Amino acid sequence: MTGILNDREIRALCTTQEGMIWPFVPVQAGKPSYGLGSFGYDMRLGSKFLVPIGGINAILDPINFPRGHFREIEVAETLEVAPGSQVLAESVETFHIPDDIAGVCWGKSSYARCGLLVNVTPLEPGWKGVLTLELANLSPLPIRLHIGQGIAQVVFFRGGRPQRTYAEKEAGGAYQDQTGVTLPK
């Protein structure tokens, strides 16, 4: 069967020996909420961030990325993102996407209403790791992020297994098995 996965199908994929999401929360909890929803999974915000340092003539280029322009920080409870700035963050959850599943991610409405843009590339079939999230504050005011609470929702779709999965792509799976917030490779 193909199409969007409901809560029963997501739960079944997460309670196998090699679960799709770990740790898996089978109910909605917290505020902003996290855990299993009707047609998706609300992931939590991890505690590690990469924060841009900035500087004169700093250019962010995905082909030749200036790693020295970011510093890693770890926070326990909250992090404020300044107006017009962005940080890279990690999910609490580790994902192991089956070969016939893809995921698309959107920010949670509570944060969207504050002006936070959450950008996550699709979770491709066969990909596994901790998600890196790009969080941009579009608001003229600082936005407070809450560690361990919901940050974004992933909606999963089932289709036929593609000819090649993320790990089998010609360009290589540069972000396969990432263990935390990761800069461009």
Decide if 134 is catalytic: yes
Strand-pair partners of 155:
104
Q: How many CB atoms lie within 10 A of CB 6?
A: 13
Tokens of 96: 């192991």
Q: How confident is the model at residue 127 (pLDDT cuts 50, 70, 90)?
A: very high
Q: How confident is the model at residue 114 (pLDDT cuts 50, 70, 90)?
A: very high
Distance CA 174, CA 166 (A): 9
Burial class (CB in 10 A: 0-12, 13-18, 19+), 113: exposed
Tokens of 154: 């992933």
Q: Which helix (H) or strand (E) holds 116?
A: strand 116-119
Q: Which helix (H) or strand (E) holds 110?
A: helix 109-112
* pLDDT value of position 55: 66
Which pTM was predicted? 0.93
For CA atoms 109, 46, 68, 123, give the dihedral sign. Answer: negative
Share of the chain above pLDDT 90, in %: 81
* pLDDT value of position 22: 97
User: Which one is catalytic: 124, 134, 168, 170?
Assistant: 134
Domains of the chain: 3-162 (2.70.40.10)
Distance CA 24, CA 93 (A): 8
What digits encode the pLDDT tens for the residues 41-78?
Answer: 999 999 999 998 876 677 888 888 888 889 999 999 99
Specify whether the CB–CB gap between 70 and 181 falls below 8 A: no
Question: Would you say residue 111 has pLDDT above 70?
Answer: yes
